[in-house]
Amino acid sequence: MLYLSTRGHPERKHFCEILLEGLAPDGGLYLPEAYPTLDAAALARLRSVWQQQGYAALAFEILSLYIDDIPADELRALCRKTYTAEVFGTPEIVPLKPLEGGLWLEALSNGPTLAFKDMAMQLLGNLFEYELARRGEHLNILGATSGDTGSAAEYAMRGKKGVRVFMLSPHGRMSPFQQAQMFSLLDDNIHNIAIRGVFDDCQDIVKAVSNDLDFKRRHHIGTVNSINWARLLAQVVYYFAGYFQATPDETHRVSFTVPSGNFGNVCAGHVARQMGLPIDRLVVATNENDVLDEFFRTGVYRVRGSADTHETSSPSMDISKASNFERFVFDLLGRDAARCKALFGEALAREGRFDLGADPAFALAASRYGFDSGKSTHANRLATIRDVYARHGLMIDPHTADGVKVAREHLKPGVPMLVLETALPIKFADTLVEALGREPDRPAKFAGIESLPKRVQVLDADAQAVKALIEAAV
């Protein structure tokens, strides 16, 4: 299995090369040269693996289709080490919770930091440590977070040999719980940097540093954001696990609704569908920052500036530059790397937007690739949180509420709809109190976390300042 860049760089690479690299040298994102495809018999075999051996074995089967430069026994051991009931709370790892009328939640938030990012990040930490030890090298991870990626990465990487983490977050724009999860980690290899700006400013800095190839090579810069293919690949697994739980056999279809800001989570669903998983619709749920909803309705992808990026009660989706979106557009345009480069490398930089509404390919987003979308507001998510609690006795976080609200608008008879849960509600207690008048339950290990000592550096949105900090630390 070889990987190519969405922007046409001629070099082809194996999995472990791109694992430590992040962006391609031309600024593009890595994708496999072709997606492996599964027929009904192969899906039935994977269902049997899931039922008889569990999530770790399913993860090995799917990952091994994309990874041919880690010996099978060692990859299997990494999956077994990662996906345990002790780490993720249940033997199923991602159990389904029934709501009403064919609507389900797929529980992805039982990991160490109570967010779905743990599903991929725990594996990524083990993959990094394995590959760095095999090479005798070290890695400086530079990442950006709007709330959950940062803590998931830091908890996965703390204490890992050969790894340092430099995590950028928007100053003052995460929930108090999210800030405390990150900033209270005092491990020597963890560096938190709060950027005066919004998440997109943080993400721009990560890309700017990654595109400085000399700096990147000198300081061994890698990334854990969803621009890293390994992270997205790990997320593909739970689409299969959800499908197998929601259906009795391979003749049935399911749909997924995915709360989305950066397009990484739902892009994993796109990959699963391309592999042959019988997914009917992939529904993108946005908050007031509705860049993705606007695209799927109109064909216009219009990036907002910092001043026009709303600060909302589902803050992990306060994003207006969906960095993973390039992977889908590459497929949508028939894998035309020149066009992809013109759109993402040139038009966005020059005009801040592009318009595919009149392009015949745009219709394929819905007809061939199964995408729909919808939007949720603060009032919507409060109403949804109240409704789900009243009808089902279940508390959900604001992002999951965005997903449930939009999923209910896209239900089809006979097709189960799975909403991907994004976090446990304690991470956004203020909104739960506003909706329900009470705080959600707090796991004992997080009691008093907001009052712990914290370590964080505040910087302006300046890539050079971040580079200087990295150089000083290494």
pLDDT tens track for 222-280: 888 778 999 999 999 999 999 999 999 999 999 999 999 889 999 999 999 999 999 99
pLDDT digits over 134-177, tens only?
999 999 999 999 878 889 999 999 988 899 999 999 999 988 89
57-113 pLDDT tens trace: 999 999 999 999 999 999 999 999 999 999 999 999 999 999 999 999 999 999 999
Residue closest to 94 by CA, chosen among 206, 246, 232: 246
What pLDDT, on a 0 to 100 scale, did the predictor assign at position 443? 86
Cα separation, 59 vs 467, in Å, equals 36
Give the rounded percent of residues in the chain with a pLDDT score beyond 90.
Answer: 87
CA 225, distance to chain mean position in Å, is 8
Range with the lowest mean pLDDT among 276-290, 315-329, 373-387?
A: 315-329
Which pLDDT band holds residue 22 (cuts at 50, 70, 90)? confident
pLDDT one-digit tens code per residue, 422-440? 999 999 999 999 999 999 9
- How high is the pLDDT of residue 323? 85
The pLDDT score that the predictor gives to residue 307 is 81
Q: pLDDT band at 418, cuts 50/70/90?
A: very high
For residues 295 and 260, the answer to whether their CB atoms sit within 8 Å is no
pTM (predicted TM-score): 0.93
The mean per-residue pLDDT over the stretch 326-331 comes to: 98
Catalytic residue among 13, 97, 117, 427: 117
Residue 210 has pLDDT above 90, yes or no: no
Q: Compute the average pLDDT of residues 36-41.
A: 97
**pLDDT at position 225, please?**
76
Length of the chain: 474
Helix-helix angle 463-473:199-211, to 10 degrees: 70
Q: Say which range, 74-88, 296-310, 372-386, 392-406, has the weakest mean pLDDT.
A: 296-310
How far is Cα 271 from Cα 213, in angstroms, rounded to an integer?
Answer: 29
**pLDDT band for position 394 (cuts 50, 70, 90):** very high
pLDDT tens, position by position, 436-459: 999 998 888 888 999 999 999 999
427 has catalytic annotation: no
